[in-house]
Structure formats: structure tokens, C-alpha cells
Amino acid sequence: MNRLLTRLVVAAALLGMAPSLALAQSLAGTVRDTSGGVLPGVTVEASSPALITKVRTGVTDETGQYRIPDLPPGTYKITFTLPGFTTVVREGVELSGGGVMTIGAEMRVGSLEETITVTGESPVVDVQTARQQTVIEGDIVRALPASRSYGNYIAAIPAIQGTQAGGGAATINNFFSARGGRSNEGTIQLDGMNVGAPGNGGGVSGYLYDMSNSAEVQVSISGGLGEADRGGPAFNIIPKTGGNTFSGTGFTSYAGKWGQSSNIDDHLRSLGFGEQPALIKSYDSNFAIGGPILRDRLWFYANTRAIGTYQEQQNLFVNANAGNPNAWTWVKSETPSVRNSTSKTLNSVRLTWQATQKNKIGFYIDYTKNCSAGAYKEGGDQCRGPGKDWIATGPGVTPGTATVSPESGSIWDAPAKIMQASWTSPLSNRILLESGYSAFYTDNGDPRPFGVLTDFIPVTEQSTGAGVPFANFIYRGFNPAPSSNQMHATWKAAMSYITGSHSMKWGYQAGYMNAENITYVGRQISYRFNNGVPNQLSQRVGTNQTSNSLRYDAFYVQDQWTHKRLTLQAALRFETASSWAPAGQNGIITDNEFGGPFLLPRTEGVHGYKDITPRFGAAYDVFGTGKTALKVQVAQYLQGAFTGDAYTISNAGSTLVTTVNRSWSDGLNLPPGTPGRGDYVAQCDFMNPLANGECGPWSANNWGSFNQTTTVNPDVLTGWGTRNRDWQLGVAVQQELAPQIAAEISYNRRVWSNFFLTHNRALTPSDFDEVTITAPSDPRLPDGGGYPVTFLTRNTRSSLGATDSYYTSTDDFGDETHYWHGIDVSLSARTRWGLTVQGGTSTGRGVNDTCETLTARFGRPMTPTIGAAAATGIIDGQPACNAREPWLTSLRGLGSYTVPKVDVMVSAIFRSQANVQPGAAVGTNGASRSATYRMTAAQFLAITGRPLAPGLATQDVNLLLPGAEYGERINTIDMRFAKVLRFGRYRANVGMDVYNLTNANTPMNYEQVYDPATNGARWMQPTSVLLPRFMRFNVQVDF
């Protein structure tokens, strides 16, 4: 007993170190004699090369059932022994995924020395868990035509929607959701632990996660028990761990300009589309090896990878005047050329140590160096310098540098890393302890390239008439650039008590997040020219920073109980969360031209959310054959904690007014010969907010101060049941159709509640007037147009700038309805003759009704123009706030097959989906297209017969209901063709990946402004299309 207590204390001390048991596979089953009676006391051994301990053991209980949890993917031999009975052996059992595989046995009277070996296909139906998941095995991950980033594989999962719809040619790390959820609800897990960045959902990042060396990838869609911190999908990468024999893989792929095609047709050219920038080179190489350091005691698996892309920059050139203090114009120079240059290098190692017979310890470190763009001049120690006849530019920390000259550009030259440690201890056949720690770090570093012109005043030229390649082009001096430093650490511990029929687990999980964002500046003054003529200057405070921290803790208990053919699951999870802005990390952090540092004290955010969420599930083996399962799950989940929304709304650091503009003509309005006229020196007192000298007044009198104008309802920052949440219901039938082939059909429903909004209390319903217009007659509009559109427009009761922002719950204004429901159909096949197919359809619709809250806020069930969002109202008698989406269906999947005799491997990822992506809203497949009817003041008067409120330049209103228009359906196929070569222990694949096989040019984005002057001539014209067909040569060697 003392030994048990000691180990329990150790488990608590090593909080948070191992993956959850619910994410590892379990073996379970019932052992009977030849008469059908159950047999208690049978020893069941699971042995596999995947186990460093070689064998894991269980014992059947009084119901004849056994359970062996926490088994890694691999091929197993299951041995059943009981004195007085013949030994039964089941060989070739393939374990994968995070559910329960049922393997039973029938034993007859005999001696232990007698052995009956049973062969047969591994079960493909999980009859003991309600979890819905898809598993992509590691060899399939490596066989598919993808750039080996998790975003490339999302395209193959029917129930998941990603925020990017491109093919697998580029390494894509995107946000993703499932079944109507927020776009940022998905999480990336490594060995069952969240390794996402703290911002924007707290679940994903741009990290180069090691997909290519995974043992398998488990994609959980729904049905998580107490260990699940949110209801969105989880993409869990299970890494390889080595073994008692050395094995490894080498991979390299390469593409050049020869791999590019064009899908720009005459129609697109007439719309102004040009060809893609020429590719100089794109490469991806990695080498991985694993094996024993000490057989059966210490294993390793190591990997190194390098990827990069070098591409010509269209219409971007160096500035011949760069570095000349007396020059203020941009002059094109053909040499050196400018390239978009990005690369990453990754090095990782995983150690698995069987310290004692009952204590296994794991350690993992993954270090990635990011290099985007490069140094501006030779020298320094940055990751990339100028080439022989070219200079590097790239996306840097943020995209958009195509409108920045190289002397004003930025660089991303900084590391990122993941570190994990784990400990597991099966104290007995019934008690298992586990704990683990995981930390994700990413640093964008100093974005100033070596040699960049930080001492020069940057200039923004508004007009291409001045010779610059783009409007609003920045040149001459370093342009202020953002950087960030983020950390997300998680830790957890759990104890499981397992019998044959019960699997009970008590666990603790916690996490800490910190997100620091720094904006670096060079000169704190910048100029704006229009066709070479100065018209404005901007003043900026020195380098400034915002920082937010968050902590969450959770305790849960869950149980799984099997009685005959029925398995019941239940869990309760208690979670708390709080946030704060750390002292001394928000504000101006350095001395600068206009003053010194000014930092804020600690600010409390969320004071302590407290929530209890229940989860229930049931699985029933319908016919007792293990081939048909009926599954039901009902569960409540919270939105994942992250450094945003309510957690950061109280941080005044983000309200620092960093920039102020003032008109400036450089004295050109003065007579020629006037001293200082046209000398590009602003002759004024910058700290005087009034007009003086050559400068106009400040555009904002609160420049350099914190402008926290939003009042926060304290009730949304604390209390029980405050957090955003959703209920999920799922009913599924899973059926084995043939050996190693299974199908599943499920009905799923998600219902969301608890929403926050920012309401302007300075405005009342009396500040808006109803206006009705007639939609234009246009065959592209519903029913040809010509229908009435009623919306709200501002009147003159209050000033246009009247603002009193109040952050609160939507419950203050009434009830809202947000739900999604639909049907998923999936098929999974891995035949003995080498064909693997996984895929299916997902059909669903969102239903949303916000009319009650809108009526309380604005007096009618309509939304006026708020910021850049167009007004929405009542369209042909139907309020836009209460509209049901049409049913949308997506078809996605993957396949792989090696043609026998000729040994040619063919694999594919295919997708057909509506032209829609998830966003911030819930209860929707994604925002449909709009028809933003943008009226000038003159057009508004002519159409409505009343003037537009003074001060408003335009009035926008959406002519379409939600779901009325999505655009052209997206259909893509990516394929790999490879010749398989075998040399003893070596196997090589030499082949070609072809992305966007059909060279489709489906529009990805559309013009959504409907111009009354042209009767919407440009409306729904494409503004971007799918990337053209692209080919990449690759070689893979396994040994």
C-alpha cells in the first residue's frame, strides 16, 4: 500500500506528461469456453515490436471480459492462457486509432502446452466507443500527393472544413472546424497534447509539424469524453518512437519552372489576370532514422528536414535611389532581381526509455528555424544574405510585402520549438498512472533585415503615376513591422482503474498561454506622396508591445462500462480559466524620438470562469458479431480558451494610439524661393497638436495615450456558465461490409449558446430610419431581381461619431438560435490486395435566428452598416436575421493502390465541395457571397428620394439573403504516380506528384460589390482562382 501511495505522489508531481488514454488504442473482449460460458481469470497478453516492454498483460474479470489500454499503433499477437485450457493465439492484429478493438476468444479444455492459432482479419468496427474519428496510417500519409503539412490532409476528411481550399502543392497550415463550428475551433495535437499557438482559438499555428514521420494520424470529429477540452475536431499526430531494429526513411522532392502550368484562359485575361510568378525552385528533403540505443530499454527516433521555395517577384524591383539621403523618389533598377524566398529547417529527436519494468519515460524535442526574406546587405548573421545577382524578399512575419521595396522590407529569422516529456506506469493489470508536459514556443524575432534603412524616413507613394509598381507603395526607409513571441504549455496527469468491464479514469489538465506582440520601428516619421507631391506625414510612437497571459485548469472523471453487448460512457469535466495583462509588458518599451518608455501595470481580464460540462455516450453491438455498432453521444463542450475575445478585452495595451496623421505640403503652397520650400523637411513642432508651420493639426488628440473606450460588463468576465459552449448530439451506425471494409452513417447536431458582442450605447433605435429600395433587375439575382429590400440608414439625430462601446452578453438583448445539423456517410477500406480508400460525404445546413437581439438593439430585425459590414435587412419579405441555409454537400477522400507485377503506386486526394470556407460565426457551413449595393450620396438620393446623412460618403446594403449565392463548386484532384523499386531491405518510390490534375481555374474569391452605376457589371467576377496544375518530382527510400 505504501508503494502504491508513493507512485500516486510521483504521478501528481509529474503533472501533465503523457498522452491521454482515450487517444491510444485499447484491446478488449470476452473469453468463453466451448459451451458459451464466460471464463474469469484468463491471462491475456498483447505482444508487439511496437512495445518497448514487448508485452502488455490483462486478466479477464468475473464477466469474462478483459481490457488492455494505452497500446501504440502496430501489429500484435494476442495470447490467451488459463490452466486446464488450451492456449489460444490470435496473430496479425493491426491496431490503429484511439478507440477499442474487440478481440474475443473461445477456449477448450486441454493443456497449456497445446496451442490453437487463430487467424483472421482485424476488426474494423469499434463496438465499445461512441467517438467518431478517422485514422490515416503513417504509410498512407507518406504515399499521398501532399506537401506533408496537416492542412494538405484536411482536404481528405469529409466532415472537416478548412480555411484554405487550395491543393497540396504548398505546405498549408490552416484553421479548421467541423459541422458548423468556428473556423478556429480545431486543434493540432502531438501525441495527444495541444501544440497550437495561444492566439486565435489556441489550437493551431504555422509550425512545421512533422507529418511525414508519423506512425498514424488520428482525426477526432466528435464524441470526446472528459479529457476533451473543446468540441471541435482534433488532428492528433502519433509519432514514430523507434524500435529494437534500425529503420528509417529518406525523402526528397524538387520542382522548378518546368513544373508550372497555366490555367489563365482568355476570359480571365480579359479581367486582368496574369500568370503566376515563375518558380525558381521548390524543395523538400528529410532523413529519419530510428532504432535501439539499448535493446528493450532505450529507443530513439530522429529526423531532419529542410524545405524551401524561391520564386520571382512580379513587378517588384530594387530602388536605384535606395540609400541616397538626398533622393526622395523611387527609381526602378533591373539588377539585382527580387525573389520571394522562404525556407524552414527542422531537427527533432524522440527518446523512449523503459526505466524499470513498470516505468516508461519519453522525451521529445523539435526545433525549427524559420527563414523568410533575407538580409538587405552583406554581413550580419541572419539566415539568408543577398544572392549573387538577386535580393530576397518574402512574407516575413506578415504577408503583403509585394507593396514594399526591399529597403523597407522585413525578415522572419527566428526559431520555434516543441518540447514534451511523458511518464506512464502500469502498476498492475488494473491501475495505470500517466503524466506529461508539453510546451510550444514560437518567436518571430527582430523583423529588421541586416542593413535595412532604419535611419531613413519611409515614403508611401499613392499613385503609380510616380513610377512605382503598385499604388500605396512603400520605399526609402524601413516600414514599421510586427513581431510576436508566443508560448503555450500544457501539463496533465491521470490515473485509470481498469477491469474487464470497467475503465474508469480520473484526470487533471492545465495550461498556460502567453502572447507578446511587438511592433518595431525605424524612423518615427513617415511621409505620404501623391504622384511625387507630399500631402501627409505620420508620427509614430517608439517600439511598442502588447502582452496577454491566460491560465486554465480542469479536473475530470470518466467511466466506460460494458455489459454484454452494450457499452455506456459518461464523464464530468470541471474547468476554470482566468487571464491577465502582465505588468510592465504593455505599452511603449524603448526610448524614442518623442519620449521614453511607458508601461502599464498588471490588468485583470477574466477573473475566473467556472464550468461543469457533462458528456454521455453509448455503443451497442447490434448482432453480437462485432460487425455492426449503433452509437449515440450527447455532450456539452466549451469554446477553447485562447488569448483573444473576452480574455483580452480589458487589456488597455492594445488601445495605445500609436500613430497620428497630419496634412503636410512641404511648403509647396508657398511662393518659390521661400526658405524650406520643397526640402522634404517637415518644418513644424511635432508635439504641438495644432496646425503650425508646414503641418496641419493632429488627426487624433489622444496620440501616444491609451484609448480604452470600451466598457466591459463585469458579468461576462467571471462566474459559472459564462463561457461560449455547445451541445452535441450524434447517432451513428457503423457496419463491416467485408473484411477490412467498413461504412458509417451518422446524424449530427450542434447547438451553440452564450455569445458576446460590442454594442454602441450612444445610439438608440431612433438614430436609424427604415429605407426600402428595389433590387435591380438582373438574371444573376434571385428570381431575376426586382424585389424590395428594406434596411436601416443613419439619420441626423446623433452625430456620426457618437460612440459608447459596451462589451456584454447577447442575453442582455434577448435569445438567439444557432445550430447546425446534417448527415455524414463514410467508407474506409484497406484490402489485403493493396487498395486503400477512405472518404465520404458530409451534408448539412446551419439555422440561425438573431432577430430578437437585433430588434432590442435597433428597433427592427435588421443590422445597420457597422464598420465595413454592409447593412442587412428584410429581403423580399424575409428577414436576413432568420434565414436557413440550403443543404450543402461535400465529397472528400483519399486513395492509394500499388499495381501488382509492374509495382506502380498510384495515390490521390480528391475533393468536391461548395465554394465556401468557415469563419468566425457558428451554426453555418460558412459565409455565402454577398451583393453589396454601394450607393454614393447622389445615388442614394436618386434611388430613395431622401438625402444620405451628412458625413456619410456611401451607403452599403446586401441584396442577398444568407445562403443565396456561393459561387462555382470546387472540384480538385491531386495525384501521385511512382515506380516502386526493391533492393533487399531497401524499397524506393520514384515518381511525380501532380496537383490540380485537371488544371481547373475555379474562382476562389469574387468581386462582391454591386455597383449601381454599372448595374453590377463586375459583381461575381473572379478576383482569384485555383492555382494551376503543378508537378513535383520526388524520391523516397525506406529501409
Q: Are residues 893 and 1001 located together in one domain of the fold?
A: no
| Of the candidates 626, 564, 568, the residue with the CA atom closest to the CA atom of residue 36 | 564
Tell how strand 187-190 and strand 932-936 pair up.
Answer: unpaired
Residue 940: band (very low, low, confident or very high) from pLDDT cuts 50, 70, 90: very high
The overall average pLDDT reported for the chain is 91
Residue holding cell 451607403? 955
pLDDT reported for residue 131: 86
Whether the CB-CB separation of 1016 and 934 falls below 8 Å is answered with: no
The burial of 258, by beta-carbon neighbours within 10 Å (0-12 exposed, 13-18 middle, 19 or more buried), is given as exposed
pLDDT reported for residue 788: 97
Please check the confidence at residue 50 and state whether its pLDDT lies above 80.
yes
Residue 1: band (very low, low, confident or very high) from pLDDT cuts 50, 70, 90: very low
pLDDT reported for residue 431: 93
Q: Are residues 775 and 895 located together in one domain of the fold?
A: yes
Question: What is the extent of the structural domain holding 181?
Answer: 133-240
Q: What is the 3-state secondary structure (H, E, C) of 1004-1031?
A: EEECCEECHHHCCCCCCCEEEECCCCEE
Q: Are residues 143 and 198 located together in one domain of the fold?
A: yes
**Calpha distance 860→10 (Å, rounded):** 61
Question: Looking at the domain assignment, is residue 928 inside a domain?
Answer: yes
Residue 711: band (very low, low, confident or very high) from pLDDT cuts 50, 70, 90: very high
Please check the confidence at residue 399 and state whether its pLDDT lies above 60.
no
Number of structural domains (the chain) is 3
**Calpha distance 183→162 (Å, rounded):** 7
Please check the confidence at residue 4 and state whether its pLDDT lies above 60.
no
Residue holding cell 528533403? 285
pLDDT digits (tens, 9 = 90+) for 835-888: 999 999 999 999 999 999 999 999 999 999 988 889 999 999 999 999 899 999
Q: Element (H or E) spanning 1003, and its range?
A: strand 1003-1006
Residue 116: band (very low, low, confident or very high) from pLDDT cuts 50, 70, 90: confident
DSSP 767: G
pLDDT digits (tens, 9 = 90+) for 646-670: 999 999 999 999 999 999 999 888 8
Q: Element (H or E) spanning 13, and its range?
A: helix 2-13
Residues 6+ apart with CB under 8 A from 289: 246, 247, 248, 301, 302
Whether the CB-CB separation of 857 and 830 falls below 8 Å is answered with: no
**Calpha distance 672→678 (Å, rounded):** 9
Q: What is the CATH number of the domain that holds 166?
A: 2.170.130.10
What percentage of the chain exceeds 70 in pLDDT?
A: 96
Handedness of CA 809, 815, 818, 821 (dihedral sign): positive
Question: Looking at the domain assignment, is residue 322 inside a domain?
Answer: no
pLDDT reported for residue 174: 81
pLDDT digits (tens, 9 = 90+) for 591-635: 888 988 999 999 999 998 999 999 999 999 999 999 999 999 999
DSSP 989: E
Helices (H), 529-624: none
Whether the CB-CB separation of 226 and 21 falls below 8 Å is answered with: no
Residue 7: band (very low, low, confident or very high) from pLDDT cuts 50, 70, 90: very low
For the chain, the C-alpha Rg in angstroms (whole number) is: 31
pLDDT reported for residue 170: 66
pLDDT digits (tens, 9 = 90+) for 452-478: 999 999 999 999 899 998 888 999 999
Residue 112: band (very low, low, confident or very high) from pLDDT cuts 50, 70, 90: confident
pLDDT reported for residue 168: 58
Question: Looking at the domain assignment, is residue 523 inside a domain?
Answer: no
Question: Looking at the domain assignment, is residue 105 inside a domain?
Answer: no
Question: What would the mean pLDDT of 998-1024 be, rounded to a whole number?
Answer: 94
Question: What would the mean pLDDT of 657-686 be, rounded to a whole number?
Answer: 90
pLDDT reported for residue 24: 67
- Of 221, 240, 259, the residue at which a domain comes to its end is 240
pLDDT reported for residue 540: 94
Q: Are residues 879 and 993 located together in one domain of the fold?
A: no
Per-residue cell: 966: 456561393
**Calpha distance 949→763 (Å, rounded):** 15
Angle (nearest 5°) at CA 150 between 144 and 155: 65
- E strands in 379-430: 390-393, 412-426
- Of 240, 264, 292, the residue at which a domain comes to its end is 240
| Of the candidates 110, 128, 121, the residue with the CA atom closest to the CA atom of residue 33 | 110
**Calpha distance 866→698 (Å, rounded):** 25
Per-residue cell: 641: 480558451
pLDDT reported for residue 210: 86
pLDDT digits (tens, 9 = 90+) for 22-37: 356 889 999 999 999 9
pLDDT digits (tens, 9 = 90+) for 949-997: 998 989 999 999 999 999 999 999 999 999 999 988 899 999 999 999 9
Q: Are residues 154 and 217 located together in one domain of the fold?
A: yes
Residue holding cell 444557432? 818
**Calpha distance 959→785 (Å, rounded):** 9
pLDDT reported for residue 12: 36
| Of the candidates 132, 134, 152, the residue with the CA atom closest to the CA atom of residue 143 | 152
Handedness of CA 993, 997, 1000, 1004 (dihedral sign): negative
Please check the confidence at residue 11 and state whether its pLDDT lies above 70.
no
Residues 6+ apart with CB under 8 A from 822: 179, 747, 748, 842, 843, 844, 845, 887
Q: Are residues 885 and 766 located together in one domain of the fold?
A: yes
Residue holding cell 517588384? 316
- Of 188, 221, 240, the residue at which a domain comes to its end is 240
pLDDT reported for residue 833: 86
Q: Which position has the higher pLDDT, 467 or 393?
A: 467
Q: Are residues 927 and 981 located together in one domain of the fold?
A: no
What percentage of the chain exceeds 90 in pLDDT?
A: 75
Whether the CB-CB separation of 291 and 242 falls below 8 Å is answered with: yes
Residue type, 1028: P
**Calpha distance 691→537 (Å, rounded):** 13
| Of the candidates 949, 958, 999, the residue with the CA atom closest to the CA atom of residue 872 | 958
| Cβ-count burial 47-79 (b if 16+ within 10 Å, e if not) | bbebbbeeebbbbbbebbbbbbbbbbbbebebb
Tell me how far the alpha carbon of residue 995 is from its chain's centroid: 22
**Calpha distance 375→451 (Å, rounded):** 7
**Calpha distance 953→938 (Å, rounded):** 9
Whether the CB-CB separation of 861 and 879 falls below 8 Å is answered with: yes
pLDDT digits (tens, 9 = 90+) for 718-764: 999 999 999 999 999 999 999 999 999 999 999 999 999 999 999 99
Whether the CB-CB separation of 461 and 468 falls below 8 Å is answered with: yes
pLDDT digits (tens, 9 = 90+) for 550-560: 999 999 999 99
Question: Looking at the domain assignment, is residue 746 inside a domain?
Answer: no
Please check the confidence at residue 492 and state whether its pLDDT lies above 80.
yes
Residue type, 357: Q
Whether the CB-CB separation of 907 and 872 falls below 8 Å is answered with: no
Please check the confidence at residue 6 and state whether its pLDDT lies above 60.
no
pLDDT reported for residue 709: 87
**Calpha distance 446→519 (Å, rounded):** 9
**Calpha distance 75→96 (Å, rounded):** 9
**Calpha distance 835→829 (Å, rounded):** 7
Question: Looking at the domain assignment, is residue 311 inside a domain?
Answer: no
**Calpha distance 433→512 (Å, rounded):** 23
pLDDT digits (tens, 9 = 90+) for 405-439: 999 999 999 999 999 999 999 998 899 999 999 99
Q: Are residues 227 and 191 located together in one domain of the fold?
A: yes
Q: What is the 3-state secondary structure (H, E, C) of 476-540?
A: CCCCCEEEEEEEEEEEEEEEEEECCCEEEEEEEEEEEEEEEEEEECCCCEEEEEECCEEEEEEEE
- Least confident interval from 129-133, 169-173, 782-786, 872-876: 169-173
Per-residue cell: 315: 513587378
Tell me how far the alpha carbon of residue 607 is from its chain's centroid: 27
Q: Are residues 942 and 986 located together in one domain of the fold?
A: no
Q: Is 943 helix (H, G, I), strand (E, B) or coil?
A: helix
Q: Are residues 998 and 951 located together in one domain of the fold?
A: no
**Calpha distance 1000→268 (Å, rounded):** 12
Angle (nearest 5°) at CA 678 between 676 and 681: 60
pLDDT reported for residue 397: 41
Question: Looking at the domain assignment, is residue 34 inside a domain?
Answer: no
Question: Looking at the domain assignment, is residue 857 inside a domain?
Answer: yes
Q: Are residues 882 and 950 located together in one domain of the fold?
A: yes
Q: Are residues 1030 and 944 located together in one domain of the fold?
A: no
Q: Is 609 helix (H, G, I), strand (E, B) or coil?
A: strand
pLDDT reported for residue 616: 96
Per-residue cell: 657: 494610439
